[in-house]
């Protein structure tokens, strides 16, 4: 079935409860697949789960799991491709591929590689992982879709550490120059990267003012509050004449107590058997 976000999605109490349960279930899938793989990136995957849940289960993204290449679909590009476990969990839940595929994360010849591979995984729009490249490709999609007269929106998801790269800023500059108002950038602002806190490694603040100076309509939200996520996505969809940016303040490892506490240390470290059991208990599994 095609999901079409032609009308403004609203957050009812029932939908809020459904999204919270979906997010919990997605986090369980992330922990299980990473524990089986023995490698990968849990922190950011868990941190962006609520944003992904809102996009794919809240009615914002027009897509058709039975026809992944539907020309009029919206595009979601995960520029910080290392947090692909949450993307895979979402795509499996939405029916793009059998959930059994999640068992083979990061295995040789698997459909689910350690970074998104568009020729291996249905629902993946762009092969990403080299930081900064995905947002550039996403902007290219947005401009091409507009040139073709398609009523499609492109969402580019980035990490805040990724914004330390130069390429995103070239894309931001071009997006504003070409008035790409079908283009929404969502930045995971968890202040954590593999080397430590972003403010210590390479401070990107004031991020909101910088994006505004580049010509974006900017919103800063709590990336775990569905009401704020809905308001921001609806507002972004209504922006005309310029691109939109949403800075989502998130907690790395959200939902798992010891990961939330240790922050950046769980950027690229998977839990052992004992830690996996604790994590699953925290998530009610």
In this predicted structure, what is the pLDDT of residue 263? 84
Tell me the per-residue pLDDT of 121-170, one tens digit each, with 9 for 90 and over.
999 999 998 999 999 999 999 999 999 999 999 999 999 999 999 999 99
In this predicted structure, what is the pLDDT of residue 216? 98
Tell me the per-residue pLDDT of 87-107, one tens digit each, with 9 for 90 and over.
999 999 999 999 999 999 999
Q: How many helices (H) and strands (E) does the chain have?
A: 11, 5
In this predicted structure, what is the pLDDT of residue 7? 81
In this predicted structure, what is the pLDDT of residue 6? 60
Instruction: Say whether 265 sits in a helix, a strand or coil.
Output: helix
In this predicted structure, what is the pLDDT of residue 20? 98
Task: Please spell the DSSP secondary structure of 126-150, one letter per residue.
Answer: S---STTHHHHHHHHHHHHHHHTT-
Range 16-282 has CATH code 3.30.365.10: no
In this predicted structure, what is the pLDDT of residue 3? 55
In this predicted structure, what is the pLDDT of residue 5? 56
| CA dihedral over 235, 237, 240, 246, signed as positive or negative | positive
Residues of the chain under the 70 pLDDT cut: 1-6
């Amino acid at each position: 079935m095609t999901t079409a976000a032609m009308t403004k999605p609203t957050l009812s109490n029932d939908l809020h409860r459904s999204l919270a349960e979906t997010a919990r279930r997605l986090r369980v899938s992330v922990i299980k697949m990473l524990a089986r793989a023995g490698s990968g990136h849990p922190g950011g995957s868990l941190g962006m789960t609520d944003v992904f849940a809102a996009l794919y289960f809240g009615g914002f993204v027009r897509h058709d799991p039975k026809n992944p290449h539907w020309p009029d679909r919206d595009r979601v590009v995960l520029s910080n491709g290392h947090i692909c476990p949450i993307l895979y969990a979402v795509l499996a839940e939405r029916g793009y591929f059998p959930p059994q595929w999640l068992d083979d994360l990061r295995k040789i010849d698997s459909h689910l590689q350690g970074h998104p591979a568009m020729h291996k995984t249905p629902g993946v729009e762009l092969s990403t992982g080299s930081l900064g490249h995905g947002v550039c490709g996403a902007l290219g999609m947005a401009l091409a879709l507009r040139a073709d007269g398609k009523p499609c929106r492109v969402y580019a998801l980035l990490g805040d550490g990724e914004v330390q790269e130069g390429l995103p800023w070239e894309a931001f500059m071009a997006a504003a120059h070409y008035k790409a108002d079908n283009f929404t950038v969502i930045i995971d602002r968890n202040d954590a990267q593999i080397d430590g806190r972003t403010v210590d490694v390479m401070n990107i603040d004031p991020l909101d003012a910088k994006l505004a100076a580049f010509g974006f309509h900017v919103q800063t939200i709590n990336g775990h509050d569905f009401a704020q996520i809905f308001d921001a996505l609806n507002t972004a969809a209504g922006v005309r004449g310029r691109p939109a940016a949403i800075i989502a303040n998130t907690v790395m490892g959200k939902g798992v107590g010891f990961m939330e506490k240790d922050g950046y240390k769980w950027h690229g470290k998977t839990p052992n058997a004992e830690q996996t059991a604790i994590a699953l208990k925290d998530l009610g599994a």
